Amino acid sequence: MKNIFIAVALLVSVNISAQTKEVADALKLYEKAKAESQHPKKGINPATWIKLSDALVSVYDAPIKSIWPGATRIDLKLLLNDQRIIKTEERKYQDQNYAVDIYADKELIFSQEGVLAGWILTKEYMPGDLLGDAKKALYKAIELDTKDVKAKEITDKLTAIKNRYQNEAMSAYTLGNFEKASANFEASAEISTNKLINQIDTVVIYYAGLTASMAKNAPRAIKFFKMAMDSGYDAKGDAFSYLAEAYKSEKDMDKAKEILENGFSAYPTNQSILVSLINAYLESNDDPNKILSLIQKAQENEPNNASLYYAEGNVWKNLKDIDKAIACYNKSVETDPNYYFGSFAIGAAFYDRAVDIQTKATEEMDDAKYEELVKQLEENLVAAIKPFESCFSVCPDQEIKIVVAEYLKNIYFRFREKSEEFKANYDKYNSFVESSKKQ
C-alpha cells in the first residue's frame, strides 16, 4: 500500500512539473521579449513587438493549450495525458447538466454529448489582460511597420487573437457569465475594425448585444444592436425585437414601438416582432388592433403576397380570435396553394383547439355536456386533416414534414377503428415518423 502512495505521488509530481515547465518557458520568453521592447534600438523594430505579442499569447495559451470548443472529452484526455485529472464532478449551468474534469490549473466543462462547452482557469500564472496586451503589441508593430513589410504576418496573428476572444465568449456564455461573454465578443469585433483586417464583423457585434441583453445591461445592448443593424445585420428581424426590449427596459416605450413597427414593415411574418409589437401595444394601453392597419396596408401594396395574410392570421391568433386567424390562413393558401406555412397554421389551429376542448371535457361532470365536447373535439381533429395533408404534400422541408406527420399520426390513431381508410393513413404516417427516426 505504501508503495502505491509513493507511485501516485511521483506521478502527480511529474504531471505538475511538466505543466510548470511549459508555463515557466512561456514566462521566460515573455520577460525576454518585454526587455527587448524597452530597448532603445530594438523597441523601434516591429518584429520586437510581434515577438512580445507572441510571448503574451504563449502565456495565455499555456494552461489551455491543445483544447478547443467542441473537442471531445476522449480527445482531450489523450492530448492532456501529461496532466492529471484531480477529480470529476457534475454541475448545472443554465439548467443544463455538465461533467467537469478538474485539473491543477483549470476546469474543463463537457456537455452531455461529451464535447467541450467551456472552461474555467483556476490558477493565474501572470496577472493582467494577456490577450488585450498581445493585441496592443501588434498595434504597436503596425504603427512601426510603415512600409507594411509585416502586414500579412500581423494580420494573421490579429485574426488568431480575434478567434481566441470568440472562444472565450462562447465559454462564458455556456457558463452563464453573459457580461464576460459580451466583453469578449466586443473585443473580437474591435479587432475586425483594425485597418489591416478592415472587415466589420456584424454577427459578433450582434452577439455582443445579445449577451449584454441577457446580462440585463440595456444601454450596452442598445449600443451593439444599433451598431449591428446600422452595418446591415439584423438577424432576419430578431434584432428589432431585442432592441425594442432593451428600450422597454429603459422605460422608453415609444421608442420600443417605433423600432418594432419598423421591424414589422421589413419582416411582416417574423413572429418575435409580431408578438413583441402586440405586447407593446397592450402594455402601453394602446389598441393592439393598430397592427392590423399596418398589415392591411401591406396587403393593398402586395395583394398576391401570401405571407401577409399569414401574418394577419398570426395577429388574430395572438388576440385569441382563432376563427379569424383560420380565415386569414385560408386566404394565404388561396393566394398561393404552395404556401405550406398557411396550411400548416390552419391544421395547427384546429388541432390546438381540439386539445383545449379535450382539457375542458376531462373536467366536465355532466354526461350530455361531455358528449357534446367530445363531438366538437373530433370535428376539429377532422378539420385539421386536410390542411395538414396539403402541407405534407407540398412542403419541401423534411423537418416540417416530420412534424406534420406526427400530427396526422395522432389524429388517425384516434379514428383508426372507425374505418380501414383511417387505419391505413395511421399506418402511413406512423411508418413515415418511425423511418425518419432511423435516418
25 pLDDT band, cuts 50/70/90, is confident
Contact by Cβ (8 Å): 138, 53 = yes
The verdict on residue 388 lying in a domain is yes
Give the mean model confidence (pLDDT) for residues 347-375: 93
DSSP label at residue 302: -
Residue 408 has pLDDT above 60, yes or no: yes
The verdict on residue 380 lying in a domain is yes
The verdict on residue 42 lying in a domain is no
For residue 285, the tally of other CB atoms under 10 A from its CB is 6
- Model pTM score: 0.70
Residue 404, phi-psi category: left (phi > 0), alpha (psi -120 to 50), beta (remainder):
alpha
Percent of the chain with pLDDT over 90: 74
| DSSP-derived pairing of the beta strands 106-110 and 96-102 | antiparallel
Residue 36 has pLDDT above 70, yes or no: yes
Query: Any idea which of 298-302, 303-307, 417-421 has the lowest mean pLDDT?
Result: 298-302
DSSP secondary structure string for all residues of 109-132: EE-TTSBEEEEEE---SS-S-HHH
Give the mean model confidence (pLDDT) for residues 276-301: 79
The verdict on residue 293 lying in a domain is no
The verdict on residue 381 lying in a domain is yes
Q: What pLDDT does residue 15 have?
A: 36
The verdict on residue 347 lying in a domain is yes
The verdict on residue 90 lying in a domain is no
390: containing domain:
337-439
Q: How far is it, in rounded angstroms, from Cα 119 to Cα 174?
A: 9
Q: What pLDDT does residue 20 have?
A: 61
Residue 70, phi-psi category: left (phi > 0), alpha (psi -120 to 50), beta (remainder):
left
Tell me the pLDDT tens digit for each residue of 199-248.
Answer: 999 999 999 999 999 999 999 999 999 999 999 999 999 999 999 999 99
Tell me the pLDDT tens digit for each residue of 131-155.
Answer: 999 999 999 999 999 999 999 999 9
Element (H, E) at 106: strand 106-110
Query: Any idea which of 11-25, 368-382, 411-425 has the lowest mean pLDDT?
Result: 11-25
Tell me the pLDDT tens digit for each residue of 312-346.
Answer: 998 899 888 999 999 999 999 999 999 999 999 99
Q: What pLDDT does residue 3 have?
A: 39
Domain count across the chain: 1
- Set of cell numbers at residue 70: 467542441
Q: For 216-225, which contacts have Cβ atoms below 8 Å and span 24 or more sequence positions?
A: 216/249, 217/179, 217/182, 218/246, 218/247, 218/249, 218/250, 219/246, 219/250, 220/182, 221/246, 222/246, 222/247, 222/250, 224/182, 224/186
CA-based torsion, 142, 144, 147, 150: positive or negative: negative
Q: How far is it, in rounded angstroms, from Cα 310 to Cα 307?
A: 5
- Position with higher pLDDT, 296 vs 163: 163
Residue with grid cell 393593398, as numbered in its chain: 300
Q: Among 215, 246, 216, which Cα is nearest to 228's?
A: 246
Q: How far is it, in rounded angstroms, from Cα 224 to Cα 433?
A: 43
Q: What pLDDT does residue 18 have?
A: 41
Give the mean model confidence (pLDDT) for residues 365-384: 94
Alpha helices in 145-266 (DSSP H): 151-174, 178-192, 202-214, 218-230, 238-249, 253-266
The verdict on residue 118 lying in a domain is no
Q: Which residues contact 86 (CB under 8 A, 6 or more apart)?
A: 102, 103, 104
